[in-house]
Structure 1
């Protein structure tokens, strides 16, 4: 067990840095308003505080996974993590991660239902979350097929971890919408995401590198969504009728378009 907590701590420190290494928004100046708040044609202001520096750590995490694919030292680290988490200490699998991965995202909509308003409207939150999942699932499934990495339990499609990606995408979504209200929303979301990543290794379903890369991909997917969403919304909003919105949709691997119209 001597290295057991080393791997967990390595993962935790990486994403604690992701959470607290980003700038905390303050009351915006006129200049900051111009940079971070995009006025949409509908007259509704979409608030976006994504900064380039915030993408550095998740990008490094994703790159770590790719480097590991052809690096013996990092492959050995994966093997050591497997021994510490499972091989030397076999145990019953604890599958709460199948559900916990969605918890931070669900919390955003639950808070809306309780009347606690986030940074953006419920409609915009839904669009961002949907777009994030389209980016996330398309990228994750493509990488799984391309890399074809064998899981620790002998099954296929290990890299990157889809559960970790979804969990950290949801955690970043919760942080973006409610982190300004209280840091505890961010902490709770990222704690749930960390637990999912931990359980993927505990259940012998993923290598350490799968989880780190998946987490990085998840955060980047949500950040990309916040950057792309207002551009897509302006692109597909009707120029003649500002109350019409067309947005992409995703359902079990099928991508389509949906339209919302206010009369």
Structure 2
């Protein structure tokens, strides 16, 4: 299984390297800017590579055993707050927009990139789960990588990209809750350390690539619209967005 994971990683890294080389040639991106982009991929790439190397290792079993004793009651232990706080970066993003915080992009472009990032991340996450089919610590299947973690880290990375230049504290705030999400997946006996690390790296990596290539960059039918209200809504265990457009 570990050999399969490394093959996938090598294939993905080769694809990204070829794509990046073609983009540099066609768009004539200066070398200084290109080096900055490569540097930004070091953290997510390291999380994916180190996490994959740790999969099935003695270390992650020791970490799991430090939280759980393996009894029947322990296997079903869960603090379900991670199901809710994974949406915190999204709520923070739109709340900041509503309060007038200066962001990199228009709210529609934010939503567009957020959707693209989550669609790609979800596809890669579920493909990994089905292909690798690693058992969770509680015995259930499809552990690798962690979906909660990849989703929450992709959202936190979007928040970071939007506010890193105008409000660094706001930009970094999303990673505090997403780190908690990843930690709770381990504490709740739902994932191994490697699942969480790769999920986090995957979410950040996809976001970095989307914000670098900016797909559908010029598509924004609401750029000149007025009287737009966009606000997050929370009701019980449901999270949504209220939208109103005036003409």
Superposed pair shares fold, TM > 0.5: yes
- 1:183-194 matches, within 5 Å, as 183-194=168-179
Mapped partners of 1:244, 1:180: distance in 2 = 24
SS of corresponding position for 1:232: coil
Match of 2:39 among 50, 53, 61: 53
1:120-175 CA distance string (max 9 Å, x none): 11111111101100110000000000000000000010000011111111111111
Unaligned ranges ≥5, structure 2:
1-27, 31-35, 224-246
Distance 1:181 1:94, change over 3 A: same
Report the alpha carbon displacement of residue 244 of structure 1 after superposing the two structures with TM.
9.4
Match of 2:122 among 137, 156, 159: 137
Match of 1:80 among 58, 62, 75: 62
Q: Which residue does the alignment assign to 2:217?
A: 233
- 1:1-263 matches, within 5 Å, as 51-69=37-55, 75-87=57-69, 90=74, 92-229=77-214, 231-234=215-218
Unaligned ranges ≥5, structure 1:
1-33, 37-49, 246-262
Mapped partners of 2:69, 2:172: distance in 1 = 31
Mapped partners of 1:88, 1:185: distance in 2 = 40
Report the alpha carbon displacement of residue 88 of structure 1 after superposing the two structures with TM.
7.3
Distance 1:179 1:92, change over 3 A: same
Distance 1:174 1:244, change over 3 A: closer
Distance 1:142 1:131, change over 3 A: same
TM-score normalized with structure 2 length: 0.69
TM-score normalized with structure 1 length: 0.65
Report the alpha carbon displacement of residue 182 of structure 1 after superposing the two structures with TM.
2.6
1:12-71 CA distance string (max 9 Å, x none): xxxxxxxxxxxxxxxxxxxxxx969xxxxxxxxxxxxx72211111112112233344xx
Tell me how large the CA RMSD over aligned residues is: 2.7
Report the alpha carbon displacement of residue 243 of structure 1 after superposing the two structures with TM.
5.6
Mapped partners of 1:182, 1:117: distance in 2 = 8
SS of corresponding position for 2:217: helix
Mapped partners of 1:185, 1:244: distance in 2 = 25
Distance 1:76 1:135, change over 3 A: same
Q: How many pairs are equivalent? A: 189
